Amino acid sequence: MKRRCLIAIAALSLAACSSEEHSDIKQWMKDATKDLRGRVPPLPEMKPFPVVSYDAADLIDPFRSAKIEPAKKAGGGGIKPDFERRKEELERYPLEALKFVGLIRNDKALYAVIIAEGRIYRAKIGNYMGQNFGMITDIQTTPGLDEGRLILKEQVQDAGGDWVENETAVEMLVQEARK
């Protein structure tokens, strides 16, 4: 009995699927697309590229490590960091870990507000920050004090062991300051 019921239900389901529902839409689609033909434009003509000879026999091979060396400076320029001075608090952190979030103007002095590991610090021109002996040489501001930039002069060693100075800019994080 159960088997006959299942067969009857399957037959009714198949009969319901074969109805001509939406036949008017199918006929309209056939009529609307019978005159349409696809047309692909021809490919543009390719212009031949001129042949250029490359002769690099007299140049340095860039893949030989013995040839890749930094330019040596005589005497290193006499630049080197002061290892005798006491390190400041912001020199414990790399520049990437420091967030410059604001500015404070106090009796003609301008201070940068810096966050490191959840602690708030203030720094002025002449203070050191970062792990490359970076000294703040300038604090640049806009008139409304809503944007700023710290200019640092860092001292790093090059491949030859000489100390060189790099100028680095740290932008103020305006969105971070407003949170």
pLDDT at res. 65: 67
Q: Over the chain (179 residues), what is each successive 10-residue block's mean pLDDT?
A: 84 67 83 83 90 79 64 62 90 91 85 92 92 91 76 88 88 63
The pLDDT, as a whole number, for residue 70 is 57
Question: Domains of the chain: which residue ranges?
Answer: 79-178
Contact status, residue 152 vs residue 90, Cβ threshold 8 Å: no
pLDDT of the residue at 19 = 60
103 near 111, Cβ under 8 Å?
A: yes
Whether 79 and 155 have beta carbons less than 8 Å apart is answered as yes
Q: Which residues contact 98 (CB under 8 A, 6 or more apart)?
A: 90, 114, 115, 116, 129, 130, 170
Phi then psi for residue 145, to 5 deg, are 55, 25
Whole-prediction pTM: 0.54
The residue ranges of DSSP E strands in the chain, in sequence order, are 99-106, 109-116, 119-123, 128-129, 134-141, 148-157, 163-171
pLDDT of residue 147: 78
CATH topology of domain 79-178: SH3 type barrels. (2.30.30)
68: exposed, middle or buried (Cβ count in 10 Å: 0-12, 13-18, 19+): exposed
Q: What is the dihedral of CA 5, 7, 8, 14, to 10 degrees?
A: 150
From the number of C-beta atoms within 10 Å of its C-beta (0-12, 13-18, 19+), residue 123 rates as buried
Distance between CA atoms of residues 117 and 109, nearest Å: 25
pLDDT score of 20: 67
